[in-house]
Amino acid sequence: MSLELLNTLEVILNGLMTGVMYSLVALGFVLIFKASGVFNYAQGVMCLFAALTLVGFQTGQIPFAHLINVIFGTEYHHWSSDITGGMNSFLAIVLTVIVMIGFAYIVERFLLRHLVNQAPIILFMATIGLAFFMEGFGDLMWGANIKPLDLGIPSGGSFWWEEVTRTWATADSKYIGMYIDVLDVWAAVIAVLLVIVLTLFSQFTKTGRALRAVADDHQAALTVGISLRTIWVIVWSIAGIVALVAGIMWGSKSGVQFSLSLIALKALPVLILGGFTSIPGAIVGGLIIGVGEKLFEFWIGPMVGGATENWFAYVLALFFLMFRPQGLYGEKIIERV
């Protein structure tokens, strides 16, 4: 293979890995949008909050330590004197999942329940409020400093892959092999597993059918005895778990910090591409944007001075809005009279 081709392949591969992340965040949006018609602006902050909580448990932080110290003049930060020894990672993940489920319950109880039958824009505004609230609440609970997240997931370039790809180049060139981060591969594998599990769950279980039923027709769902409130709690819980997975992946890469919540902004073009109501759309859309922005940067970037990754996704989305507003897989909106 020529060097040119190999380099392009490498870019595509890395694009796919980034795309998986975008897909995950977009997936959280789609789940909630389908079930409750809410465009959940807080999805990104949910990623941040989940990751903060996980790190907090894992490193043995005391929640609201700062608040407690200010009020009582104490100096508590960790509940174990040994800073490195918080809690087993697995246990921390389980506890974080429980926190996210609790959060879903609170959102239903104090937000959604009071906004039933309101216009979508009002629900949207409510989730903006929720995003700000969670951001502040997360800070208060766990502190605002940047925290490394280490769950023991391997990271760094894969030597094996480098060796394998090195032999693909034409014999005389000095090709050193393809770079791929093992962490990205793990992220991709976990994301794929998550999507498979969710799909199986929604296809073959009672609650899965109820979720699809609610997404399909609220009125009919009520008639067969499905409680919308229960479904909302379940959907927000699932979105919370998806957020946790996304949060772990991004957090392992670049630390848990505020910018994590901004990946939600990248999900928007993904949704415009994939359609707001399509789960396959979210996945494919994420991959297209991931690959697209990397390839664009690789080919066109040098001509325009680089940094195209910041805006490419939005421009692509804009084109989609003009030519295919319902997205790749979204249902065409036809009013039946």
Contact positions vs another protein (CB under 8 A):
200-201, 204-210, 212-213, 216-217, 219-228, 234
| 333 vs 47: CA distance, rounded Å | 31
Is 260 within 8 Å of 250 (Cβ atoms)?
yes
Nearer to another protein, 125 or 213 (CB): 213
Find the shortest distance in angstroms from Cβ 331 to another protein: 9
Find the shortest distance in angstroms from Cβ 47 to another protein: 23
Nearer to another protein, 84 or 223 (CB): 223
Nearer to another protein, 220 or 304 (CB): 220
One-letter amino acid of 69: N
Nearer to another protein, 21 or 32 (CB): 32
**Looking at the chain, how many residues does it have?**
337
Nearest C-alpha neighbor of 311 from the set 266, 245, 273:
266
| 333 vs 330: CA distance, rounded Å | 9
DSSP 188-239: HHHHHHHHHHHHHHHHHSHHHHHHHHHHH-HHHHHHTT--HHHHHHHHHHHH
Residue 191, SS3? helix
Is 11 within 8 Å of 226 (Cβ atoms)?
no
Nearer to another protein, 197 or 300 (CB): 197
Find the shortest distance in angstroms from Cβ 74 to another protein: 39
Find the shortest distance in angstroms from Cβ 230 to another protein: 9
Nearest C-alpha neighbor of 53 from the set 148, 132, 127, 141:
141
How buried is residue 89: exposed, middle or buried, by Cβ count under 10 Å (0-12/13-18/19+)?
middle
Find the shortest distance in angstroms from Cβ 97 to another protein: 12
Nearer to another protein, 197 or 318 (CB): 197
157 pairs with which residues across the strands? Answer: 181
Find the shortest distance in angstroms from Cβ 204 to another protein: 6
Nearer to another protein, 169 or 226 (CB): 226
Find the shortest distance in angstroms from Cβ 238 to another protein: 11
Nearest C-alpha neighbor of 11 from the set 288, 305, 298, 304:
298
Is 267 within 8 Å of 25 (Cβ atoms)?
yes
Nearer to another protein, 218 or 294 (CB): 218
The pair of three-digit structure tokens given for residue 226, joined into one six-digit string:
């499905």
Nearest C-alpha neighbor of 28 from the set 144, 167, 195:
195
| 175 vs 6: CA distance, rounded Å | 9
Nearest C-alpha neighbor of 47 from the set 284, 266, 292, 317:
266
Find the shortest distance in angstroms from Cβ 281 to another protein: 14
Nearer to another protein, 36 or 261 (CB): 36
Find the shortest distance in angstroms from Cβ 284 to another protein: 18
| 76 vs 87: CA distance, rounded Å | 17
The pair of three-digit structure tokens given for residue 82, joined into one six-digit string:
């040994």
